[in-house]
Structure 1
Amino acid sequence: MTTTNFDSGSLVTNDGVTSATYSGWTFGASSAIDFANASAADLTALLNQSGGRSIILNYNGANVTDFYFKSSDGSDFQLNSFKIDNGPNGASSSLTIAGYRDGALIVAAESVNLTSSDAAGNISYTQQDNAGAEYSGLLAFNSAFNNVDEIRFVFGSLVELTVGSVSV
């Protein structure tokens, strides 16, 4: 796996599907949604306001709360950090994040509140920006996430999950 910020290339959308692959990462949801590797000119999210692109899951706001990303070739990785926001239509700022390997739970789900920074547990969150109910920040992961191949998210209600700058 490589570290990527998704900034290269042009807009690619994958609409009405349960997964889409960008730069070696497969992003998905529990039901069909719309995906894009968008810049601020394409679709506005807090993570792409300073330039570059981010992956936006569910940009048309379907009633979906469960998402994931994983290595597209199934290889294990050591997750160090990534940027996250709950999107302009994000109705939830609270979520759980868990780590999986080969379909088995490796790191138990941990709660994260995007409205405030927190350094407890296996995940540290630094809240970096907000606009109304939209929050963004940096998630950093400890050694519990050293050998995973999938990260799963469950939000309290529908969101437009945005992911950027995945560091492994």
Structure 2
Amino acid sequence: MSNLELREFHSFLEGLIEESSREQRFSIDRIVGTILSSHPQRLEKIQTQVIALGLRALVRNNCRAKVSSMNNGPDMFGHYHVGKRVAVPYKDEKGKLRWDRKRRTELSFDDLDEIIARWDDRPPHRSRDRQDFEDISRRAAPYRGQARTIGQALEMAERDGR
């Protein structure tokens, strides 16, 4: 697919959105239904890109999800607002700040320290994520020398009633 085809589809989509919004309340489902039922030939031209975009959205949503369907035991992160994969800052070989996504059960103490340190660079807005990570840090701190990961430290804290 060319960029021209994608731009044409965006223009077509914009027209459908405008037309649909004038007639009734805005509805994504109605617009998608119109495309699928009345304009399948337009969709065929960009089908591969639409599938890739949809898959990217599903992967992002899955990483942000709080509950894992593959969990084999108690979820030590269950009452925290922490996705299954967490963005962890690191410096690349050129010293540029980058972000890696790690499973929350595999976060190291260094990872947690880096996440919290990034918030120190920002205004002191107390987001729920920030509060959760700071609470995780407090609960896991006594187990720094014993646990390899934050997940293991939270299991130890749970076992010890902390």
- Shorter-chain TM-score bucket reads under 0.3
Instruction: Give the TM-score taking structure 2 as reference length.
Output: 0.26
Higher helix share: 2
Instruction: Give the TM-score taking structure 1 as reference length.
Output: 0.25
Higher strand share: 1
